[in-house]
Homo-oligomer: A and B are copies of this chain.
């Protein structure tokens, strides 16, 4: 079997075998299959798709294309959580300590922001001293001792995926459902998760803009995970507007801290409680007896207990332990006013009376990039201080009067601030009639 025959078979709509997919991926990682054949293959997959079975084979081949992480010497059952990204998505900062405080360990390898979507590592680095580069030994020790650790990738997990993703980025083959699903799932499988809670976002500020697309991706990833012996739950979270009120690294850390204190925006709090509850449920349901969570463990109870960690200070205490373990300055998290802040803060005023009908999350995300708080291309530095903070009234469904602030721009310069205000003004739409706020979670697929 030659590689060109595998390409041609996919080009002509054939279903590839496990052996064919493995041959291709192994050869690609070994440098025996050149980039140009991989590019032709990806474009053929773009047009022909892959069956769930093929996508599972692809995921497995990529997951085991390099080192894999085994955390079972530290925890009996590893629950991971994956968000498909978005604007204002600081969920990991809150959910990690929530579930860890209930005895479910969270060891996450996270990523950086790119394009309109932020990244967890960038947010954590807004806390002075926080180290994202840990050795495997450090990672495991913290996971055992603290129960929560969030770092960058230490090993080169799923190198096939890294190599293939870089290629897809420059060959117009990013937007392929099986390639997207395989990319995400291969990293999760390589990182050693026994169960995965997928937090798939839908809307203008997400990679999937419509509910059917998001559900299709979520169901495909769940099918792949189950096919590889993992327990899977997927939530479809709303990303038509930013999650919570803050977008921008230090601003989001401050909002996460507010939420960990039992305050914070209602939609973000609900999102965190729902995600945490699914992580608790999947951990408890599938390893009965191993969790330290007391009581019966049904959905309602999981939500109640998850919410309680925000209100009774246990999540906050776990957060402090975590941040301190990774070198973060506790004086700053205890007093978020000491986080980096921008010199210029200006409001966007409502141009008319009415109800907010639209806040384009993607435009808000790009505005943060324009302000210097995100990356247009990999490797760009980020300014932690800048960003956007919405007023509650400035979110969808909010009732506003002309001249009231919709949001506040935190900028480094006047020029950048003016440009941001102009871009954000165009991201809004208003209605005379009342508008319903979108649901925080559109669907849960267990």
Is residue A445 within 8 Å, beta carbon to beta carbon, of the partner chain? no
Q: 24 A-B contacts, Cβ less than 8 Å apart? A: A3-B170, A4-B172, A7-B172, A11-B172, A34-B36, A35-B35, A35-B36, A36-B167, A36-B170, A37-B39, A37-B170, A37-B171, A39-B39, A39-B40, A39-B43, A39-B171, A40-B42, A40-B43, A40-B173, A43-B43, A43-B44, A43-B47, A44-B172, A47-B47
A70 to B37, CA, bound (A): 37
Partner of A46 from the list B4, B11, B38, B167 (CB cut-off 8 Å) is B11
A245 to chain B, nearest CB (A): 34
Extra A-B contacts (13), CB below 8 Å, given A34-B36, A40-B42: A3-B170, A8-B172, A11-B43, A35-B35, A35-B36, A35-B39, A36-B39, A37-B39, A37-B171, A39-B43, A40-B172, A43-B44, A47-B47
Partner of A171 from the list B4, B169, B170 (CB cut-off 8 Å) is B4
Interface size class of A (residues with CB under 8 A): 20 to 34
- Interface positions, chain A 16-51, Cβ under 8 Å from B, are 34-40, 42-44, 46-47
- Which residues of the partner chain B approach A37 to less than 8 Å between Cβ atoms? 39, 170-171
- Interface positions, chain A 155-187, Cβ under 8 Å from B, are 167, 169-173
- Interface positions, chain A 163-213, Cβ under 8 Å from B, are 167, 169-173
- Which residues of the partner chain B approach A44 to less than 8 Å between Cβ atoms? 43, 172
The answer to whether B170 touches A4, judged by C-beta atoms less than 8 angstroms apart, is yes
- Which residues of the partner chain B approach A169 to less than 8 Å between Cβ atoms? 4
A10 to chain B, nearest CB (A): 8
Q: Which of A11, A36, A172 has the most CB of B within 10 A?
A: A172
A33 to chain B, nearest CB (A): 10
A89 to chain B, nearest CB (A): 26
A34 to chain B, nearest CB (A): 7
- Which residues of the partner chain B approach A39 to less than 8 Å between Cβ atoms? 35-37, 39-40, 43, 171
- Which residues of the partner chain B approach A7 to less than 8 Å between Cβ atoms? 171-172
A170 to B4, CA, bound (A): 6
- Which residues of the partner chain B approach A46 to less than 8 Å between Cβ atoms? 11
A284 to B439, CA, bound (A): 77
A165 to chain B, nearest CB (A): 13
- Which residues of the partner chain B approach A4 to less than 8 Å between Cβ atoms? 169-172
A169 to B42, CA, bound (A): 17
A172 to B48, CA, bound (A): 14
Closest 3 pairs between A and B when the two form their complex, measured CB to CB = A43-B43, A40-B171, A7-B172
Partner of A34 from the list B8, B11, B35, B42 (CB cut-off 8 Å) is B35
A366 to chain B, nearest CB (A): 17
A3 to B172, CA, bound (A): 9
- Which residues of the partner chain B approach A167 to less than 8 Å between Cβ atoms? 36
Instruction: Give the nearest-CB partner of A173 in chain B.
Output: B40
- Which residues of the partner chain B approach A170 to less than 8 Å between Cβ atoms? 3-4, 36-37
Instruction: Give the nearest-CB partner of A2 in chain B.
Output: B170
- Interface positions, chain A 89-122, Cβ under 8 Å from B, are none
- Which residues of the partner chain B approach A38 to less than 8 Å between Cβ atoms? 36
- Interface positions, chain A 299-349, Cβ under 8 Å from B, are none
- Which residues of the partner chain B approach A8 to less than 8 Å between Cβ atoms? 172
A371 to chain B, nearest CB (A): 24
A109 to chain B, nearest CB (A): 27
A35 to B8, CA, bound (A): 18
- Which residues of the partner chain B approach A42 to less than 8 Å between Cβ atoms? 40
A175 to chain B, nearest CB (A): 9
A11 to B47, CA, bound (A): 9
A5 to chain B, nearest CB (A): 8
- Which residues of the partner chain B approach A36 to less than 8 Å between Cβ atoms? 34-36, 38-39, 167, 170-171
A266 to B120, CA, bound (A): 78
